[in-house]
Amino acid sequence: MNILMVGDVFGSPGRRCLKSLLPGLRQRLALDLVVVNGENASGGLGLSSRTAEEIFSYGANIITTGNHVWRQRDLLPLLDNEPRLLRPANYPLGAPGQGWALAETKSGRRVGVMNLEGRVFMNPLEDPFRVADEILAGPLRKVKIVLVDMHGEASSEKQAMGRYLDGRVSAVLGTHTHVPTADDRILAGGTAYQSDVGLTGPVESVIGMDPKTATQRLRTLRPLPFKVAAGPAAINATLVSVDPETGKATHIERIYEVLS
């Protein structure tokens, strides 16, 4: 079974990448499931209801998010009514939506997807390790194939989550920093791991933003408006192959493709 995790989609360039490149990737890689992190898909900051529906129409089976999930207020009703759209599971009780989903492939295999958010340099949320335990012992307890989107700033926290869940989930793949890491591997217990899948969006950018604007923000310490970078765009994603009988990963591979 082949699962593709698409790194943070950034603005309209990222969405164009999905529209143009995902169908070919789905066919070429014989994908059974596509998970897309969409928390920056609307103007580089947040996810609107319309943009979420757009991403689903391009072939995403599940959309995960992160710390910008609340930026677009019109998304809130969709979070409550669309089970394929996730927010980090370790937000406090009462937050709209949920942090896990159960998808079924065309072959009838069930795949669990869990969305977590780190706490190091991030929001003071519930303990993601405890919440992961609760989900694996609860709604996903009978599901062999589980992918975790660990949305976090610190590689150390994401690595710790990978080690903590090794052997209990099929993959722990990091998002949020928009820079792909070269530590893709299969851990000792059979869990595929990567600290960050990377950015799907503008290539000539500073994590998706116009370089000039990003540099001015850093030099002047002024909250200048975000501006999505122009120019060529590319998709960063990670392919994980899983033995459906055991739920163990058998292959992990970084995918990078430029939109021509």
Residues carrying an active site annotation: 68
Burial of 56 (0-12, 13-18, 19+ CB in 10 A): middle
- 136, 169 in Cβ contact below 8 A? yes
The helix/strand/coil state of 223 is coil
Q: CA 12 to CA 233: how far, in whole Å? A: 10
Q: CA 147 to CA 234: how far, in whole Å? A: 23
- Of the CA atoms within 13 Å of residue 104, those in its CB half-sphere come to 3
Q: CA 146 to CA 170: how far, in whole Å? A: 5
Of all residues in the chain, what percent are helix, strand and coil, respectively (each to 5)? Answer: 25, 30, 45
CA distances for 193 relative to 68, 90, 197, 221, 235, angstroms: 23, 20, 10, 35, 19
- 247, 170 in Cβ contact below 8 A? yes
Sign of torsion over alpha carbons 229, 156, 7, 176: negative
